[in-house]
Chains A and B, each alone.
Chain A
Amino acid sequence: MFNLALLKATAKENIRLILAIGTVMMFYMIMIIYMYDPTITDAMKQYLDALPAELVRAMNFDMVEPTFTGFIVGYYYGFLIILFPMVMIMILSYRLVNRMVDRGSMAMLLSTPNPRSMIAATQALFSIVASFVLVLIVVMTAIVSAKFFFEFELDLTRFLKVNIATFAYFVALSGITFMISCLFVEAKHALSLIIAVPLFFFVIQMLQKVSDQFEWLKYLTLQTLYQPNDVLMGEPYILSTLVLISVGLIGYGIGIQMFKNKDLPI
């Protein structure tokens, strides 16, 4: 199914990228937690009111519940939680497939008697694990910071639900970019789409939030299926989460299949 030697080597090659993104995300989480002060959440709201309303809405800084958990989900999970992992997903997609083909290192891999599907599946697995690691870093940071540094009450159950939905979104997004990398194999073709597609979803989501007029845009972006505030407030999220995971797995599956049958100029 998977090649362990490849998995280890890929992990070694990409650990620094993952930790770098993870560190940035950890930093922002700590910063947002630090900003939480039950007495001044109103002041926070006033501060945000001073900014143009469209900008605030676009960035999804929307605290639906004036609790600590609500604060975190409102300010971290609208924007930051997507931005940095999105960059990592783009870079990984490129590194796991296209860069190897372009450089010729794929030739060394494919000169071994490992089925192409196994090689592609191993890269896909790593991609999913990388997303999981990011979510893990964020969750651990929140739990540890809340408990030990600030003694705030984090509603663990609901917080974890939000993060499950978040992970599902990453699986979907990375599945789509993986599929793109395998569809277009050569870096020059794949790269523009790998960057454009996630960015498109991201930007459309921002625009859609700006005003009611743009609500129809929600049909154009994958992020519609990922609404962390709704998850927090107890709205049904299982279906959209399952859809996201399916989209991801289908994307990976198509990618692996494409890779099996591609002519590779290596």
Chain B
Amino acid sequence: MIQARKITMIYPSKKGIFDVDFSVRENEVFGYLGPNGAGKTTTIRVLMGFMKAQSGSASIMGLDSWNDRDKILMDVGYLPGEIAFFDSMTAMEFLHYMLALRRVKDKTRLKQMIDHFGFDSNMVIRKLSKGNKQKLGLISACMHDPSLYILDEPTSGLDPLMQQQFIQLVKQEKKRGKTFLMSSHSFEEVEKTCDTLAIIKEGKIATIDKVDHLLMQRTKVFTLLLENMHDVETIRAAGYHITHADGYRIDVRVEGDFKAFFEVIKKVNVLDLSIQQQRLEQVFMQYYGKEHDHV
């Protein structure tokens, strides 16, 4: 579906993307993860034909992203990172306008989407909340029923309930045979929807891997409150790295195999247990350290 072959695109500020290479198969949900400024939006700009790769090539459905963008975009639903609408229009006017621009007459999908998201489409865009604007953007990406979705930070601004709705939407669309490329800076978000994940940092791809595989290797830091020093030693002896110790309260880094870890802590007296959310930086540190070649 998408072939990015060693794309390099450097801005005058010297930032950009360098030798970005990945493919997205049909019916795959591909996550593109990276911190702000990593190059996610730049990559999407090249794929959408907004910018031309300085070297390398990008193709979608076999067609060149720059030269054949008009043909490609017939079948792509796009959600930009920063949504800019025409403030004086109502939501419905905007959606009809987008359909008219695309010369699409069939409004069934539009009605379905509005119902799915539960939306007051007669409100003027200027007065919509950020979450509703994001919903509007999602609707406008879906309503012409494209085969490929390119979404730049789709759940930004959405509350947890709406995020759930979005996840369901992705799963439904996947069943209908659709393909997704979505960018995000939240691991939590992509792990619930994506099959494959590429991580980009400072313009370069750090790793590409199946999400299941990455999850298995993921590090979680557990904070345990134990009963005595013997317990602490038991944990240490089992080979786990204790990153921080404050008396009997220890932070233990556990990689991937949580089942084994739980077997170990069954043997000690755990008074309290909590899990630290793994920050993105930590994910990156992990993937920079290892040599991956999984695609």
Residues of A within 8 A of B (CB): 3-6, 9, 13, 103-105, 107-115, 261, 263-266
Contact = CB atoms under 8 A, between A and B. Distances in A.
Interface string B66-88: 00001111101010101111101
A260 B170 CA distance: 33
B73 A105 contact: no
B101 interface: yes
Contact of A5 (B76, B86, B101): B101
A107 B100 contact: no
A104 B85 CA distance: 8
Interface stretch (B30-38, B43-51, B112-120, B201-209): B43-51
A113 B73 contact: yes
A104 B82 contact: yes
B84 A103 contact: yes
B80 A114 contact: no
A265 B11 CA distance: 10
B128 interface: no
Interface of B: 11, 45, 48-52, 70-74, 76, 78, 80, 82-86, 88, 97-98, 100-102, 140
A265 B41 CA distance: 9
Given A108-B84, A114-B101, A265 B45 contact: yes
A114 B84 contact: no
B89 to A, nearest CB: 8
Contact of B70 (A103, A115, A261, A266): A115
Contacts of A110: 48-50
Contacts, number: 63
Nearest to A104: B84
Contacts of A103: 84
Nearest to A100: B84
Contacts of B51: 263-265
Contact of A6 (B70, B71, B101, B140): B101
A103 B86 CA distance: 10
A13 B86 contact: yes
B47 to A, nearest CB: 11
Nearest to A13: B86
29 contacts: A9-B97, A104-B82, A104-B83, A104-B84, A105-B84, A105-B85, A107-B80, A107-B84, A108-B80, A109-B101, A110-B49, A110-B50, A111-B73, A111-B80, A112-B73, A112-B98, A112-B102, A113-B73, A113-B74, A113-B102, A114-B70, A114-B101, A115-B70, A261-B52, A264-B45, A264-B51, A266-B45, A266-B50, A266-B80
Contacts of B48: 110-111
A105 B86 contact: yes
A264 B46 CA distance: 10
B86 A112 contact: no
A263 B50 contact: yes
A115 B101 CA distance: 11
A113 B84 CA distance: 18
Nearest to B49: A110
Contacts of A264: 45, 50-51
Of B50, B52, B88, chain A has the most CB atoms within 10 Å of the CB of B50
A5 B100 contact: yes
B181 to A, nearest CB: 14
A264 B71 CA distance: 19
Nearest to A266: B50
B126 to A, nearest CB: 13
Nearest to B75: A113
A251 B88 CA distance: 31
Nearest to A119: B101
Q: Please provide the 3 A-B residue pairs with the shortest distance between their CB atoms, ordered closest to farther.
A: A104-B84, A5-B100, A111-B78
A4 B101 CA distance: 8
B167 to A, nearest CB: 23
A117 to B, nearest CB: 10
A146 to B, nearest CB: 38
Nearest to A264: B50
Contacts of B76: 111
Contacts of A9: 86, 97
Given A110-B50, A111-B48, A266-B50, A3 B80 contact: no
A63 to B, nearest CB: 44
B259 to A, nearest CB: 45
A112 B101 CA distance: 7
A108 B85 contact: yes
A5 B97 contact: yes
Contacts of B140: 108
A263 B52 contact: yes
B253 to A, nearest CB: 40
Contact of A108 (B52, B88, B98): B98
B58 to A, nearest CB: 13
A116 to B, nearest CB: 8
